[in-house]
Amino acid sequence: MKLQILAALTLALSANVALAGDVAAGKAKSATCAGCHGAKGISAVPTYPNLAGQKEAYLAQQIKDYKSGARKNPTMNAMVAALTDADIANLAAYYASLK
């Protein structure tokens, strides 16, 4: 049992390390996102979520879910359709880096 817990923790920690996108590339790619989510990831519209300061893994997963169709939102599904895995990692790193 202890070995299984240790293995699960090791796997979880190594998965987070693999994210580390390029913050500068994410900032450059974020111009399209700024229309709804704000220039610094803080939305002026109450119904649009703030992205600044969210966890990198969370952001990356949400974008991937929109891209795959696991999360349904016509606007977001269209906005992320052309993103590469690198784009997703970079955007997640950028927004996670903001306070």
- The CATH homologous superfamily to which domain 20-97 belongs is Cytochrome c-like domain (1.10.760.10)
Q: Cα-atom radius of gyration of the chain, to the nearest Å?
A: 15
Distance CA 11, CA 14 (A): 5
pLDDT in tens, 37-94: 999 999 999 999 999 999 999 999 999 999 999 999 999 999 999 999 999 999 999 9
CA–CA separation, 48 and 51 (whole Å): 9
Q: Does residue 97 have a pLDDT over 50? A: yes
Question: Quick one: pLDDT at residue 20?
Answer: 86
